[in-house]
Amino acid sequence: MSHCRILAENINSDQFDLQRAAEGLLWKLEREDEAVAKPIILNSYQYDIMISYSHKDKELCLQIHEQLVKDGFNVWVDRDCLRGSTMVGIANAIENSEYVLICMSNTYKESVYCQSEAHYAFERGCHLVPIMLESNYKPDGWLGIIVSGKIYVNFAKVEFKSAYEKLKNEIIEQRQKYLRKSSTKSIEKDPVDMISITPKHIELVPESIDDLPNCITEWAHDHVKLFFLRMGLSDTILPLCTRVDGHRLLRLYEMCLINPESMYQSLKFELGERHHILLPIADYLTFLHEVKLYVPSTSTNVTTARSSSLDSSICNAM
């Protein structure tokens, strides 16, 4: 840790990428949890847009920045990227920006520093607008999860003017959509009220369903609800699985085994975005631990490859 701190604070360092990575690591270890916990105050943004980009894509990103400013947007960008802004400064910019542009390219995805920026914006629930800067690039891994389901504006496929107009229209459309949503749901501004309405959406399990089949693939939707009720997960995991049967729940479990951390972040974000509820890590781990008892050991290679301890003691006895 001390070596990492020395490297991050060495202003004369000629190892720019390493210095920036050290800064990002220190911030993630020491400051991120505290920063994420800060309350998000609506309608108090200092900036309209923050641009998150790799310094190798600087030329195009600064061109986008220049055009946004001309059109009246208040934009924060790390213009002096080669010298670098501190992680605290960038975190403040993310917290105080209405929208965060995620400038996607392979160099962006491979940068630990860019990952820290994007992940923090994702954790804060910022309005993310992904833009494509590299031809034939398809975001995967952590970047693919963060931008999943969002509309890309492709600057690599069409000329700049056309792509920029699409970007501007996307920002304006998102802003109008958010304002309409806020005006019709102003009653939900109280966090206590928002949380209290969620359990009302959970239907009771029919009385005819009193036990769970030994294998998850035999479960109907009502069996899935019964499982989550018994495990005490009806207020957290169940709202994410309202139309899920056993086969689909098995697929979710397999996805969690392949990339448990990323899936936790994805489920946590969806639960917060759709139901305004925090997903405790303990509930996520409880789900993985309890559902494995109903997973047939021969269902997929994923279960066997990830951990031999995950073989189902119930299904194997059938």
Q: Do residues 93 and 116 lie in contact, with contact meaning Cβ atoms separated by under 8 Å?
A: no
Q: Which residue, among 10, 21, 97, has the nearest Cα to 55 in the 3D structure?
A: 21
Give CA–CA dist 271/147, Å, rounded. 16
Tell me if residue 126 falls in helix, strand or coil.
Answer: coil
Tell me if residue 48 falls in helix, strand or coil.
Answer: strand
Q: What pLDDT is recorded for position 47? A: 92
All residues at 6 or more sequence positions from 252 whose CB lies less than 8 Å from its CB, including other chains: 241, 244
pLDDT at 21 > cutoff 50: yes
Residue 62, token pair as written in the block:
């600064």
All residues at 6 or more sequence positions from 178 whose CB lies less than 8 Å from its CB, including other chains: 127
Domain assignments of the chain as residue spans, ordered by start:
41-184, 196-317
Q: Do residues 312 and 292 lie in contact, with contact meaning Cβ atoms separated by under 8 Å?
A: yes
Task: Compute the C-alpha angle 313/316/318, nearest 5°.
Answer: 120
Mean pLDDT, the chain, rounded, equals 77
pLDDT digits over 39-81, tens only? 444 456 889 999 999 989 999 999 999 999 999 999 999 875 4
What is the gyration radius of the CA atoms in the chain, in angstroms? 23
pLDDT digits over 228-265, tens only? 999 999 889 999 998 899 999 999 999 999 988 889 98
Give the CA distances from residue 215 to residues 120, 218, 290, in Å, rounded to whole numbers and listed in that order. 39, 6, 13
Residues 41-184: name the CATH superfamily. Toll/interleukin-1 receptor homology (TIR) domain (3.40.50.10140)
All residues at 6 or more sequence positions from 97 whose CB lies less than 8 Å from its CB, including other chains: 45, 46, 47, 48, 49, 50, 76, 126
Rounded to two decimals, the pTM is 0.49
Q: What pLDDT is recorded for position 44? A: 64
DSSP of 242-293: TT--HHHHHHHHHHHHHSHHHHHHHHHHHHHHHH-----HHHHHHHHHHHGG
Give CA–CA dist 94/126, Å, rounded. 8
Q: What pLDDT is recorded for position 151? A: 84
Q: Do residues 133 and 149 lie in contact, with contact meaning Cβ atoms separated by under 8 Å?
A: no
Q: State the CB neighbour count (10 A cutoff) for residue 187.
A: 9
